[in-house]
Structures are given as C-alpha cells and as structure tokens.
Amino acid sequence: MNTLENRVAVITGGTKGIGKGIARVFAAKGARVVISGRSVAEGEACATELSQAGGSVVFIRADVTKREDLETLADAAAKMYGGIDILCANAGVFPACKLDDMTEADWNHVFDVNLKGMYFSVKACLPWLKKSAAGRIVLTSSITGPITGFPGWSHYGATKAGMLGFMRTAAIELAKFGVTVNAVLPGNIATEGLDGLGADYMRSMASSVPLKRLGTVDEIGYAAAFLASGEASFINGHALVVDGGQILPESLQALESA
C-alpha cells in the first residue's frame, strides 16, 4: 500500500524539519528523492544521513526566492532521473512580528519565501510533472491562516491561506495533465524552526492539542506520502489537516473538561 517505488520527488526545504520528515518517509517508500534548501552543509548532511538509512536522497542547493535556482534544481533532478513525478513545495519561514511593528520588508520576506517561492517551485517542475504518468503536487500550508489565527503571524497566515487559494485553481488547470494538487495543513510540529520559538511556546502549544503533544515530522511525511501516492489518485484540491485535533475545541473549557 502507499508505495512511491521509483517515483522521483523534489522536496523544497527538505533539509530539516517537516521537509526532512517528508524526505525520510518518501525514501522509505522507495522514492528517489531530491531535497533542496540554502545551507549546503545541512543539505549534504541530511542527504548523507537519509541515504545511509537506506534511501535514495540527494541534495541540490536552491533558494526558493530565486527563480533561476528552482529552474536549475528542476533541470538537474529531471536529468538525473529522467523526469519529476512529485513536487513537495514545503520551504517556508515563520518569523513572528505583530502588526504594530511589521515593516514592508517583514511582509515581503514572508511572502517571497512562502508564496512566491511556492509559485517558482511549481513553475519550474511543471514541465516534467505534466509528462509524468501521475504528477503530484503537495503543498505544505498550515492550520495558521486557513483555519486559525495567532498574534504575530498575520503575514504568515496570509501566505498559508494564499497557498490554498493557489491550490484550488491550479488543481483545476492541471487536472487535464493528470497532475493533482493538494495540501497538508500541519498543526504544531516539533521542528528545528519551531524550536526557535522557545520551550515555553512548545509546552503551551502541546497543551492546546487534544492529543497533548506536538506532531512529529514523520507524521506530516505520512500524510504527504498518501497524497503523493497512487491510492490518492482521485483526491484533488484537498486540504488535509494533520494537527492531533488542535483546531477542534470551541473553547479552553472544551479542551480542559474532556
């Protein structure tokens, strides 16, 4: 079930956090995985670690804010393996900044990485995804923006909701090529990026999840692998929440009285 045997997958932001979890799960399911990010040292270390665990994983450096980097990444991946079947547009940033302090540069930075970076990634991989027998695009959105709000993340939430707006039209446009476009909406997942928000934040987020813990990166990997698999062939334009039930309680009381 759920095999990705010999499917070629490009994962942006695949060098750590959720992207690394997606890469590990895809590689374990037999995919030939190409991960990208900006840090060469972290990217090469990640590819080595996942390859030593038995997967086929290579690193190619690419900054998603640079269109040429994505074109080079897609060309190199396709040359290496004869095509691209799956794109996971996952690279993203979440620097917290409240509206009172937010500058145009803060806003642009988050939009450039999260939204324009996703668009560049899709555009660069699209010629090969269209040639694939079953092209798949899996976007990493978030519960923050499409469903919930959190002070400090108005710009971030706007990008993550924007990804779903993009998805719904792209899913219609690309269906005629057999390419599906879906999204995972993670809740709070223990990653290097989230670590940066501090132990107090991590503890309080874990307590707001009915399952009373943060998610793991592999748990997002399993969801992405399903959406990328043959078994998900009739799922198109879907937003899959993976959050341990975090969005469910109507109030603090609903959570605490269970």
Residues that bind ligand NAP (CB under 6 A): 12-13, 15-19, 37-39, 42, 63-65, 90-94, 113, 140, 142, 186, 188-189, 191-194
Compute the distance between CA of residue 154 and CA of residue 142 in angstroms, rounded to an integer: 13
Measuring CA to CA, how many Å separate 31 from each of 26, 187, 189? 5, 26, 23
The pair of structure tokens assigned to 145 is: 């923006």
Residue 124 near residue 36, CB atoms below 8 Å: no
The answer to whether 222 is a known catalytic residue is: no
DSSP per-residue string spanning 58-93:
EE----TT-HHHHHHHHHHHHHHHS---EEEE----
The pair of structure tokens assigned to 134 is: 């079953």
Measuring CA to CA, how many Å separate 75 from each of 54, 80, 87? 25, 8, 13
Closer of 47 and 113 to ligand NAP (Cβ): 113
Closer of 66 and 168 to ligand NAP (Cβ): 66
Closer of 18 and 33 to ligand NAP (Cβ): 18
Q: How far is the CB of 137 from ligand NAP (least distance, A)?
A: 14
Measured between alpha carbons, how far apart are the two ends of the chain, in Å? 35
Q: How far is the CB of 80 from ligand NAP (least distance, A)?
A: 19
Q: How far is the CB of 242 from ligand NAP (least distance, A)?
A: 9
Q: How far is the CB of 196 from ligand NAP (least distance, A)?
A: 7
Closer of 144 and 180 to ligand NAP (Cβ): 144
Q: How far is the CB of 133 from ligand NAP (least distance, A)?
A: 28
Task: Write out the E strands in the chain.
Answer: 8-12, 32-36, 56-59, 86-89, 136-140, 180-186, 239-242
Question: Which is catalytic among the residues 119, 156, 201, 222?
Answer: 156
Closer of 69 and 132 to ligand NAP (Cβ): 69
Just list the catalytic residues.
156
